[in-house]
Structure 1
Amino acid sequence: MTANRYPDCLAFVLRAEGGYVDDPLDHGGATNQGITQRTYDDWQESHGLPLQSVRLISAEEVAAIYRNHYWRRILGDDLPPRIDLMVFDTAVQHGVSRASKWLQAVVMSPVDGVVGYKTLYAVNDYVMRNQIKVLIDDYMDLRNAFYAGIVTRDPTQARFRKGWSRRMYRLSSALL
């Protein structure tokens, strides 16, 4: 287990996600600090709270949602430093299952979209054998290819390319 890096990783994600956005071309719909309205509704319902606009989400709710729905599901506390940030940021933007599958594919672990102890073992073994930089480079290549595929499938999404590129540049810099 590594030191609690969740606060630092969360801070990175929050800088990338920004505030309230409801762009009609963004398939995620209305979001605030990266939390979609649907995710917030699920959170509110699961806690017996009335539904309200994601505009009104509190900082405490944001941190709790990211911890419970993303960080814990990727076993962020157990991933090596830098890998934790890389997979967490990907899970937030592309979903936990996809982020986990990419990690599993790179480290040659069974690909099921659920990070468990077999995946953690494969990650640690891969890092020891091939160096962390190879893992990061291969994973980031998959993520960049995914962005390209989004635009190929739906050219209206090209308007987000610049923001995605900035995010990937910042993430790559943070992973050095």
Structure 2
Amino acid sequence: MSRLNEFLNILDKVEGRHSNDPRDRGGETFRGITQKTYNNFCKKMGIPIKPVSSLSDEEVKYFYQEEIFKNCRFNERIEIHYNYFDCLVNGGSYGHKKITEYMNAKILERPMTESEILETLYDFRLKQFKKIAEIYYKTTSINEYPLKGWINRISKIRAYFNNKKRITNGK
């Protein structure tokens, strides 16, 4: 399985398929792709705009390959690489830039083991989600959304990779 295919498999577990929750400022979303983001992508690529809910597996893969995967910071360690990929999916180029800057600074402070890098990544992402949620809560009457979903997102990503490690190690 290619890395992009594995990332799309994980993303399906994290994002789900289709959502059109009125509490979600992103609006209608299919497999993590908002309609607005897809419209911008179509204009950039010169392809016809269509509802995200009607995208085929190949169209979803093409979007992620061209718009996200190619622009994502690469790391040989798949779990670290996926977190950069997921930051770009979930936080856009700004979120990806912030985590890249933060991680570069942290790694320059002192050498880190892979597990320390992962803990730092997950911790940073949760802190960022909490900051965003605080801003969101100030502008809406909804109390638990979206922080609960974002924390679940991190839990699902961690669980996926922990399970993969157990299988790989024969446990």
TM superposition score category, shorter chain reference: 0.7 to 0.9
Distance in 2, matches of 1:9 and 1:51, equals: 24
Runs of 4+ in 1 over 6 A off after TM superposition: none
Residue 160 (structure 1) aligns with: 146
Matched, 1:141 2:127: no
CA distance in 1, matches of 2:100, 2:159: 19
Identity %: 24
1:36 offset after TM fit, Å?
Answer: 0.8
* Structure 2 length-normalised TM: 0.79
Q: How does 1:68-107 map to 2 (within 5 A)?
A: 68-76=66-74, 78-107=75-104
Q: What is the match of residue 35 of structure 1? A: 33
Letter matched to residue 23 of structure 2: L
Structure 1: tracts of 5 or more residues without a match: 110-121
CA distance in 2 between partners of 1:157 and 1:49 (Å): 39
Give the TM-score normalised by structure 1.
Answer: 0.77
Pairwise CA distance, 1:44: 2.8
Task: Please state how far the C-alpha of 1:60 moved relative to its aligned partner.
Answer: 0.8
The CA distance in 1 between the partners of 2:48 and 2:19, in whole Å, is: 22
Per-residue deviation, residues 69-94 of structure 1 (Å, max 9, x unmatched): 11110144x54221111111121111
Contact 1:103–1:139 at 8 Å: present in 2 too? no
CA drift at 1:47: 4.1
Whole-angstrom distance in 1 between the partners of 2:49 and 2:72: 27
C-alpha deviation, 1:28, in angstroms? 0.8
Q: CA RMSD in A?
A: 2.4
Partners in 1 of 2:91 and 2:116 — Cα distance? 21
Task: Compute the displacement of 1:157 (Å).
Answer: 6.2
Q: 1:28 to 1:79 in 2, by over 3 A?
A: farther
Q: Give the stretch that moved more between structures: 8-17 or 36-45.
A: 36-45
Query: Is the contact between residue 87 and residue 100 of structure 1 (CA under 8 Å) also seen in structure 2?
Result: no
